[in-house]
Amino acid sequence: MSAPDSHVAGDAHVPVLIDEVIAALAPQEGERHVDGTFGAGGYSRALLAAGAHVIGIDRDPDAVATGRALEARSAGAFEMIEGRFGDLDAQLADRGVDGVDGVTFDIGVSSMQFDQGARGFSFQADGPLDMRMSQAGMTAGEWLDSADESDIADVIYRYGEERRSRRIARAIVAARPLETTGQLAAIVRKAVGHKPHDKKDPATRTFQAIRIHINAELDELERGLAAAERVLKPGGRLAVVSFHSLEDRIVKKFLKRRSGALGAGSRHHPPTHPDAPAPTFSSLAKPVRASEAELARNPRARSATLRAGIRNDAPAWGAHIEREVA
């Protein structure tokens, strides 16, 4: 799983904020890093070029195939794992790895997924309503054809931040069965009164919401952040690129909570929750966004935000602690 970025076939692939991500990860010769959302492998290749050993993870079989090819020619410096990045701690433990120096996530849908009409992630090219990152399980079309109208509306509102979600859900149910991305986009546009000169296609929010729901993306992000906390060594670096407010809010909250900055306070005296354990991240970088130069060559980077932190030696929080201090 990897977020929208520029996609060029083969090793020429350059992901969003590549220089900034590598600066945050600061890979050193011989270190071990995890690229939790391998995608086309742009971050992994940059880490390998810096002399690091890299473990790539992805649930998309197409991305895994790309990773296997890289693995075959890496002389042992790269290993590809097929799976979810939320399980990275268990995946590393299965391989006898008890700690790593860096973890990076690039959240959301990858350019390869987005640009292939047959994958059903985009309405730019008409294709089947699929949207599955793992290419397994219930498709978006199957869910839309079987879900209650209220559930569809809730998903579109929660994950798409779409105020007109009930109107859209009503129109979807009335038009069932749905088969293609073009059909769904047309239904949304008609439901909200889309005009050709509108700056943003109203179908964008609905597609985002359904995709996030089908792939449980926000749950996966929360699990991945907690797993990264568990596997990072003291001094290990975490770098996360997100592409919309829901993702960024989760990353921001996680890093603030794990650094002890819960509520108002100064950077010199961050407040702590009375029941919170010791902070596990001692240094947080300011959020980074794409430069004008990057935006000029890759408009998809416009919404990208990088957040990074450095792990200290405090024990990782448990799930029960997270619930208690929420």
Note the pLDDT tens digit of each residue in 235-279: 999 999 999 999 999 999 999 999 998 654 445 445 555 667 899
Tell me if 143 is assigned to some domain: yes
Residues 76 and 30 in one domain: yes
Domain extent for 225:
10-112+217-325
Of 122, 131, 176, give the one whose Cα is nearest residue 149: 176
Tell me if 121 is assigned to some domain: no
C-beta separation of 57 from 67 below 8 A: no
- Which among 182, 214, 246 is the end of a domain? 214
The predicted pLDDT at position 118 comes to: 58
pLDDT tens digits, one per residue of 72-116:
999 999 999 999 999 999 999 999 999 999 999 999 765 565 455
CATH number at residue 293: 3.40.50.150
pLDDT tens digits, one per residue of 108-157:
765 565 455 556 567 777 899 999 988 899 999 999 999 999 999 999 99
Tell me if 1 is assigned to some domain: no
Instruction: Return the bridge partners of 309, or none.
Output: 238, 284
Q: Is beta strand 288-289 parallel, antiparallel or unpaired with respect to 305-311?
A: antiparallel
Residues 156 and 30 in one domain: no
Q: How many structural domains compose the chain?
A: 2
The predicted pLDDT at position 82 comes to: 97
- Which among 190, 214, 238 is the end of a domain? 214
Tell me if 128 is assigned to some domain: no
Produce one character per residue of 243-272: b if its CB has 16 or more CB atoms within 10 Å, e if not.
bbebbbebbbebbbbbbbbbeeeeeeebeb
CATH number at residue 178: 1.10.150.170
Tell me if 125 is assigned to some domain: no
Q: Give the dihedral of Cα atoms 321, 263, 222, 312; nearest 10 deg.
A: -70
Residues 229 and 87 in one domain: yes
Tell me if 124 is assigned to some domain: no
C-beta separation of 276 from 321 below 8 A: yes
Where do we find the tokens 């020429």? 12
What's the rounded Cα separation, in Å, for the pair 179 and 187?
A: 12
Tell me if 35 is assigned to some domain: yes
Tell me if 117 is assigned to some domain: no
Residues 262 and 295 in one domain: yes
The predicted pLDDT at position 9 comes to: 32
Residues 43 and 182 in one domain: no
